[in-house]
């Protein structure tokens, strides 16, 4: 059995920006402390929700370094270092390793895409050139690529490929993946509205957008599942289902960043091409935040 990087709810951290569109490191440090103080089980930095795709190389490296330093070993830190450029994914991963990250989040190659055989070749190539455990990231809605259960099985044979963040929404495929891979591949839900079903199948937690605005709730949903109290896990999941959905009312991370701004955090706007929420969606999100006691 491979080591598990974390259990529970890991937050897919938002990246705050200043008015002149630079990474706002003082606010990022406060956000990291807020997350840890409110029961978040891991920090995932520079991934999709953190707008890793629009961080330049220097920003990406510095933000990973800063996060590891700010966390100070209190919880695991996982860095988003995936790319459709295999060589660049290795380069970013090696930079992250210098700072002592606990895991590397590796998205499937987007735009140029590949075959299932190409996925096996890509991820094994990267895994052979790092010393840090890898969490695969399967999100077909963004990449146009889907990792099949049989491909997961082949990848799980590599000692450094230890987990996946599964966001393809296919529960039947999830069951097959778990049946094939067993303890050689830890499963994390990549969708906040599916934490409870994933926990039923033995997932170890979630990599969560919800955690940005409601870290205690996301932690508690996952914790109930880990305790085996699946009824309580499902009940909490359903209680927060509207918020999970409204955080994706437009393209992530736009709603989550606007939610934190409403809650008083100096987040700045998302980098283009992401646009601010429409007014109608902003009001809907505001009402949901009020319902859950996150806004007055």
Residues ≥6 apart with Cβ < 8 Å to 220: 39, 236
What is the share, in percent, of the chain residues with pLDDT greater than 70? 100
Q: How far apart are CA 62 and CA 23, in angstroms?
A: 10
Out of 137, 152, 188, 240, the active site residue is: 137
Active-site residue flag, 165: yes
User: Quick one: pLDDT band at residue 296, thresholds 50, 70, 90?
Assistant: confident
Distances (CA, A) of 2 to 98, 166, 215, 238: 23, 18, 27, 32
Active-site residue flag, 137: yes
| Strand segments (E) across the chain | 8-12, 42-45, 77-80, 103-107, 134-138, 161-166, 186-189, 205-208
Tell me the mean pLDDT in the region 281-290: 98
pLDDT at 149: 98
Q: Which of 145, 135, 148 is nearest to 111 (CA)?
A: 145
Q: Assign domain 8-227 to its CATH architecture.
A: Alpha-Beta Barrel (3.20)
Out of 30, 153, 165, 176, the active site residue is: 165
1: pLDDT strictly greater than 80: no
283: pLDDT strictly greater than 90: yes
pTM over 0.75: yes
């Amino acid at each position: 059995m491979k080591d598990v990087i974390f259990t529970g709810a890991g937050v897919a951290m938002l990246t705050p920006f200043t008015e002149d569109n630079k990474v706002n490191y003082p606010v990022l440090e406060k956000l990291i402390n807020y997350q840890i103080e409110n029961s978040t089980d891991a920090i995932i930095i520079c991934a999709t929700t953190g707008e890793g795709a629009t961080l330049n190389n220097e920003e990406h490296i510095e933000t990973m370094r800063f996060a590891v330093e700010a966390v100070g070993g209190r919880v695991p830190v996982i860095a988003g270092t995936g790319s459709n450029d295999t060589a660049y994914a290795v380069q970013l991963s090696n930079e992250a390793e210098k700072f002592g990250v606990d895991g590397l989040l590796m998205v499937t190659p987007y735009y140029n895409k590949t075959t299932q055989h190409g996925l096996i070749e890509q991820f094994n190539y990267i895994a052979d050139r790092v010393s840090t455990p890898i969490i695969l990231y399967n999100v077909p809605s963004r990449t146009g690529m889907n990792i099949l259960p049989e491909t997961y099985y082949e990848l799980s044979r590599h000692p450094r490929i230890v987990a996946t963040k599964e966001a393809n929404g296919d529960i039947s495929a999830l069951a097959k993946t778990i049946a094939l891979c067993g303890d050689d591949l830890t499963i994390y839900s990549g969708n906040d509205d599916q934490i409870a079903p994933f926990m039923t199948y033995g997932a170890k937690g979630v990599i969560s957008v919800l955690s940005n605005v409601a870290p205690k709730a996301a932690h508690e949903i996952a914790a109930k599942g880990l305790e085996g109290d699946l009824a309580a896990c499902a009940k909490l999941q359903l209680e927060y289902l509207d918020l999970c959905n409204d955080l994706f009312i437009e393209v992530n991370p736009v709603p989550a960043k606007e939610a934190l701004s409403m809650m008083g955090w100096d987040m700045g706007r998302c980098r283009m091409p992401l646009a601010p929420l429409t007014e109608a969606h902003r009001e809907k999100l505001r009402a949901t935040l009020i319902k859950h006691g996150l806004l007055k």
